[in-house]
């Protein structure tokens, strides 16, 4: 195999490939090259469903949609397809469309919780938490 050309920037998020910078020969017989080209999306995504699917597979930057919304859509999709293995894995009583509930259960299951002191405004406050 012969590799020629200069290296292109690569990354795990969309928008890295700006132009075709290099061709990589991947086969001599038949003569075949690999080209990394920029992805092309229509200027307007026709439906929310299509947009969410694009976000799930990383075609749209997460922060443009919101990581919590993408995670919520993934959970919704799993439930709609009847993929409930997460229920048993994380000791849930039943499938849920509430991503915050599922994430809290995962944190408890993995022991990733912390005890915090809350100020309720009722009764005595801990002086270390008072503000001036």
Residues 83-108: tens digit of each pLDDT? 999 998 888 999 998 999 999 989 98
CB 76 within 8 A of CB 94: no
pLDDT at 16 over 90: no
Number of H helices, E strands in the chain: 5, 2
Query: CA angle, corner 45, sides to 44 and 50, nearest 5?
Result: 175
Query: CA angle, corner 11, sides to 48 and 65, nearest 5?
Result: 20
CB within 8 Å of 103: residues ≥ 6 apart? 71
Q: Encoding tokens for residue 85?
A: 């293995």
Q: What per-residue confidence (pLDDT) applies to 71?
A: 93
pLDDT at 77 over 90: yes
pLDDT at 131 over 50: no
């Amino acid at each position: 195999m012969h590799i020629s050309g200069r290296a292109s920037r690569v990354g795990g998020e969309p928008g890295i490939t700006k132009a075709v910078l290099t061709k990589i020969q991947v086969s001599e017989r038949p003569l075949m090259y690999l080209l990394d080209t920029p992805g092309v999306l229509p200027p307007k995504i026709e439906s929310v469903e299509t947009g969410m699917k694009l976000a799930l597979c990383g075609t749209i930057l997460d922060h443009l949609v919101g990581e919590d919304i993408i995670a919520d859509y993934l959970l919704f999709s799993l439930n709609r397809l009847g993929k409930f293995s997460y229920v048993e894995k994380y000791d849930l009583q039943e499938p849920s469309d509430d991503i915050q509930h599922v994430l809290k259960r995962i944190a408890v299951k993995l022991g990733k919780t912390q005890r915090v002191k809350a100020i309720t405004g009722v009764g005595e406050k801990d002086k270390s938490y008072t503000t001036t």
